[in-house]
Each structure stands twice: as structure tokens, then as C-alpha cells.
Amino acid sequence: MKNSSMTADTAARARRLNIARGSGRSQGGFTLVELMVATTIAVFLLGGLFATVQSTRRAYGNQNLLSQLQDNERLAMSLMASDIFQML
């Protein structure tokens, strides 16, 4: 008799622990909603990063073209100056 009351006590204690832990539900993972929210945030962050990279690449290209234009202007000015000095 004592043995069966000990098992009943142990079972009752185990049930109380399960209730205290959230009705025995395992808490070891992410829910679908959490994953969807994380994915949405990641997509927005990656989109912003992509836009920033594209803008930086465009600015680099524009600066490269501007420097080539300035080099061409400098060459033209030096050629014109040498021709003018030769005429005098």
C-alpha cells in the first residue's frame, strides 16, 4: 500500500511541475509567426543594403566619369596653352 501511495504522490508532483512549466508544452523552438516576422525584417534590411550598395556604385561611376572629364579638360587646356605660346 505504501508503494502505491508513493507513486501517486510522485505522479501528482509531476503533474504540478508540468502545469507550472506551461502544461508540458516544449519551449525549444521558434513559431511560424516568429520566423515570418524575422524573415520580413531580414528582407527589408537586405533591400536597404542593396539600395545603399547600388547608390554607392552609381556615385563611384559618376565620380570616375567626372575625373576623366577633368583630365580631358586639363589636357585640352595644356595643348591650347602650348599652341598659344608657340604663336607668340
Number of domains within the chain: 1
* pTM across the whole model: 0.53
Alpha helices in the chain (DSSP H): 2-20, 32-87
The rounded distance, in Å, linking the Cα atoms of 88 and 81 is 11
The rounded distance, in Å, linking the Cα atoms of 36 and 4 is 49
Per-residue model confidence (pLDDT) at position 33: 96
Residue 20 is part of which domain span? Answer: 2-87
- Average pLDDT along the chain: 86
Instruction: Tell whether the model's pLDDT for residue 80 goes beyond 80.
Output: yes
